Structures are given as structure tokens and as C-alpha cells.
Chain A
């Protein structure tokens, strides 16, 4: 067993369909010399305490085993710990794994073994970290950027603040999570019927607004609901900022840009 590694299993992995793959996973990790202690998330077990216990015991790499929801359970505190994070996605949703170029299933062990570590920026929505992006749909909120200027959606639209980029859909864009900046993207609200018609007629859809910034504030007169990574948020006012070079993550060898380009058929 490698004392530098610990694995956090999500509670859904206790279900029978996952027993075989977990057995195979543990065998594969032992073969690679990456076997480590295992902690299981349960309904009444605090993920932060579990991870911090491992860190106190000298663990240097915490590997999340599960899916993007599992990642979400630890993401809010992990960047503050001096550990490297690995990720083995065994089930959907795994959009963040895709952005990190980590394959789903046992193949993720090879990524772990290659140990290609990148230090990424993390974003903060109020006091909570997120890795990919926060999205507010159909809003007329105002974004004040770095206290210098504001962007208002005069006709309403979708507001996204990106760090790593969208992980929720396959057609998501990719932002740079190593430039110390967040990217605000405002896209107009277009009825899907209109979008289909435009696609048919090959009409170029309206452009998105795009600015980069370090810190900002989102204010709305109406209650505002959004999603950051995979957790939901609601309120009238949010602060958003980037913490540069904060989080060490083991990533897949192929460039993220390449993997997305492949997804777009380029």
C-alpha cells in the first residue's frame, strides 16, 4: 500500500453493479503501486473530516472515485489543503473528467499512474470554490467587474462565469484555467425553435458578450438561481473571483484543447 495515496469512494459505489469494477480497480491500482487507504462517503459522514484525517496522516494525493457529483462533495474545501487531487470517474455525469482528459473507468488508473500534475486556478462564488463555471439562465442581472465597470443584460440572457469551462454539456466551450482570469460570457436568450430555424437557414446566431476579469459582483433585482459546477445556488447578489494557481490536479496526458477539438470533429 502506498501511504501517499488515499481514495474517497462515493456512497453510490456500494451498490452491486459497481462491486466488480471496484474489485478490478483496486487490483489495477495495486499492480501500479498506487494502492492506498480508502474512505467511503456516507450520508452522515462529513467529507471534509474524512479528507482532513487522511491529510493529517501524511497522505499527499487524494483520489476521488465516483462521478462529478462526488467531486462536488469535496471541491468546496479541497483547494485549501496541501494535497494533489486525482479523479477516477466510474459513472456519469463525468463532464469535468472529460475536461481534465480523464477517461471513465479503469483507464483513469493510467492517468493517475502517469502523474501529470497541473496547477489550476479555482474560482469562488461567494465563499465556495468551483472549478468549471457558474451559470445563471434567463436573467437580467448586472455584473460589476473589478469595481470599474458594469455589464447589464438589457434584453435578458444567460450569464456564465467560466474558469475551466462548461462541464455540463458536451458542446461546452473551454476557458483557460491557468491564466489567473475568469471569463464572463453573456449569451442572448433564443427560443429553441428559432435556433432550429437558424440552423436550417444557416443564419449566424447573435454573438456572445465576452470579457475576462479577476473579481466581480453579480446583482439582480429578481431572485437569481444558478448552478456552479453541479451545486445549485440562489439569491440576489453573488461575489465571484478567481484564486490563481490554487489547485493541483492530476490530468490526462492529451491536451484539453485537443480533446475538445476532437469532440468537435476538427
Chain B
């Protein structure tokens, strides 16, 4: 029996749509780990994450990340995010600046505001007009389950 149920959530601003069509994961929220519509991790604007970050849930990045990110959920990078990291995720929506390789297990969406420098591997990809993408793109096949994101970074640096 758990004593900790959901708490109220705020209505949020416009956000990237989760590929599966689930409710948006971009809303400001009350911080309850039990709320399934809310990312388990949020790196907001004004915060810098450095190092090896691993998560089992959804991740929303609006701030700065240097290092490696690995998640078994959806990774959403907002328009003002700056990511210098290898990314390994189940799904991803990129609207900010990424320097590093992306290894996405299922679906990758690159928004018009995105600037991606690095190689990309994914099963399906959607790219909005206006997005900048530099690097090799390989899609159409399911990538292996989250691998070591460090390898992704090393490859990105050697390019």
C-alpha cells in the first residue's frame, strides 16, 4: 500500500508531442514521481548537468548538458537546450542544439529549431523544415537496447 498518490498538476505551455501520442511531457508540474504524464527528470533553463546521466524514465532538458545521457524513456530537448553529449534513448524529440551522436531505439523527431551535429541511428525519423542536421543518419532498423553512450561521444569527437 502506498501513501503517496498523485498531486495536482498545472496546465502547461505548448510542448513537443510524445511520439506514441501520449499526453505532452513538457508541462510545469508539481513534483510527484507517481505522475505518469510528467518526466521523471527535468533539467530546466539555468541549470547545467555535467557527467554520466542515466534514467529509466522520461527526461526533459531545457538547460545545458555536458557528458552523456542515457534513458529508457523519452528524451525531450527544448528549443533553448544545449547538449554536448552522446544520447542514448528509447525515443527523442530534439528542438535545441545537440553536439554528439544520437542512438535512438525507436522514433526520433527533429524540430525546426534544432541544430544537430553528430551521427544518428534510429528506427524512424521525422525532420521539420528548418532543422539543421550534420552527420550520418541511419534509420529504418531498430537499434540495440541502450548501449554505452560514451562510445557515441567518442565517435562524435572523431568526426
Contacts and interface: CB of A to CB of B under 8 A. Distances in A.
A179 interface: yes
B5 A150 contact: no
Interface residues of A, number: 41
Contacts of B133: none
A257 B49 contact: no
B43 interface: yes
Chain B binding surface SS class: loop
A209 B43 contact: yes
Interface in B54-87: 54, 60, 62-64, 67
A170 B36 CA distance: 24
B62 A264 contact: no
A260 B7 CA distance: 7
A14 B40 CA distance: 47
B62 to A, nearest CB: 6
A81 interface: no
Contacts of B31: 162, 173-175, 183, 185, 208, 210
Interface residues of B, number: 37
A201 interface: no
B107 to A, nearest CB: 24
B50 A152 contact: yes
B4 A176 contact: yes
Given A154-B64, A208-B28, A256-B3, A175 B33 contact: yes
Which 8 residue pairs are nearest across A and B when measured between Cβ atoms? A257-B5, A149-B51, A209-B44, A207-B44, A155-B46, A264-B8, A176-B4, A209-B47
Interface of B: 2-8, 10, 12-13, 28, 30-34, 39-54, 60, 62-64, 67
Interface of A: 118, 148-155, 157, 162, 173-179, 181, 183, 185-186, 188, 204-212, 251, 255-258, 260-261, 264, 266
Given A204-B13, A206-B46, A207-B62, 12 more contacts: A148-B51, A174-B30, A176-B33, A178-B2, A186-B47, A188-B46, A207-B60, A208-B28, A212-B33, A257-B6, A261-B8, A266-B8
